[in-house]
Amino acid sequence: MVEGYPLLSVLTFLPLLGVVALLLMSSAQAVRYTALLFTLLEFVLSIPLLTDFDKATHRFQFVEAYQWIPSLNIHYKMGVDGISVLFILLTTLLSVLSVTVSWRAIVQKVKEFYAMILLMETAMIGIFCAMDLFLFYIFWEAMLIPMFLLIGIWGSSNRVYAAVKFVLFTLAGSVLMLIGVIALYFQGGKTFDIQQLSLMRYPIEFQYWLFFAFFAAFAVKVPMFPVHTWLPDAHTEAPTAGSVILAGVLLKIGAYGFLRFSLPMCPDATRELMLPMQVLSVVAIIYGAFVTLMQTDFKRLIAYSSVSHMGFVTLGIFSLNQQGLEGGLLQMINHGIVTGAIFLCIGMIYERTHTRQIEDYGGLGRAAPVYVFFYTLFSLAAIGFPGTNSFIGEFLVLSGAFKSNYAVAIPAIFGILLGTGYMVWLYYRVVLRDINPAIKGHLQEIGGREILTLIPLLLLVFYIGLQPAVPLSFVQVSIKHLLLQMDGVALMGLR
Q: Please give the helix or strand (H or E) that residue 80 lies within, else none.
A: strand 74-80
Nearest alpha carbon to residue 180 among 161, 150, 157, 202: 202
Tell which residue, 223, 243, 341, has the closest CA to residue 297: 243
Beta bridge partners of 297: 357
Distance CA 393, CA 76 (A): 34
Distance CA 7, CA 79 (A): 10
Domain range list for the chain:
278-495
Model-level pTM?
0.92
Q: Which residue stretches of 200-297 are H helix?
A: 204-221, 230-237, 240-245, 251-257, 263-265, 267-272, 274-293
Question: Could you give the C-alpha distances from 353 to 238, 443, 466, 488, in angstroms and in order?
Answer: 17, 7, 35, 57
The tens digit of pLDDT for each residue in 379-391 reads 999 999 999 999 9
- Closest by CA to 97, choosing from 138, 40, 41, 55, is 40
Write the pLDDT tens digit of every residue in 71-85: 899 999 999 999 999
- Strands 61-69, 74-80: pairing kind: antiparallel
Secondary structure (3-state) at 435: coil
User: Could you give the CA distance from residue 387 to residue 324 in angstroms, rounded to a whole number?
Assistant: 20
For the segment 72-130, what is each residue's pLDDT rounded down to a tens digit? 999 999 999 999 999 999 999 999 999 999 998 888 899 999 999 999 999 999 999 99
| Separation between Cα atoms, residue 213 and residue 276, nearest integer Å | 16
The set of residues, in sequence order, having a beta carbon less than 8 Å from that of 366 and lying 6+ positions away, is 435
Residue 98, amino acid? S
User: How many angstroms separate the CA atoms of 227 and 305, rounded?
Assistant: 15
CA 168 to chain centre: 20
Q: Rounded to 5 degrees, what are φ and ψ at 387?
A: 100, -15
Closest CA to 305 of 345, 339, 351, 344: 339
- Tens of pLDDT, residue by residue, the chain (495 residues): 445 679 999 999 999 999 999 999 889 999 999 999 999 999 999 999 999 999 999 999 999 999 999 989 999 999 999 999 999 999 999 999 999 999 988 888 999 999 999 999 999 999 999 999 999 999 999 999 999 999 999 988 889 999 999 999 988 888 999 999 999 999 988 999 999 998 888 999 999 999 999 999 999 988 888 888 898 899 888 899 999 999 889 989 999 999 999 999 999 999 999 999 999 999 999 999 999 988 888 889 998 999 999 999 999 999 999 999 999 999 999 999 999 999 999 999 988 888 888 888 888 888 889 999 999 999 999 999 999 999 999 999 999 999 988 899 999 999 999 999 999 999 999 888 887 777 776 778 888 999 999 999 999 999 999 999 999 999 999 999 999 988 875 444 333
Taking the C-alpha atoms of residue 196 and residue 492, their distance in angstroms, rounded to an integer, is 8
